[in-house]
Amino acid sequence: METARYCALITVDSKGRTHARTMDPFPPDENMLVWFGTNPLSRKVAEIRGNRRVVLYYFDREGAAYVTISGIARLVADPKEKARHWKDEWKPFYPDREKGYLLIAVTPNELEIVSEKKGILGDTTKWTPPRVRFGPRRLRR
Q: Which pLDDT tens digit goes with each residue over 39-70?
A: 999 999 999 999 999 999 999 988 889 999 99
Q: How many residues does the chain have?
A: 141
Chain-centre distance of CA 80, in angstroms? 20
User: Is 82 exposed, middle or buried (CB count within 10 Å of its CB: 0-12, 13-18, 19+)?
Assistant: middle
What is the CB neighbour count within 10 angstroms for residue 127?
9
Band (141; pLDDT cuts 50, 70, 90)? very low
Domain 7-133: CATH superfamily is: Electron Transport, Fmn-binding Protein; Chain A (2.30.110.10)
pLDDT digits (tens, 9 = 90+) for 72-86: 999 999 999 999 999
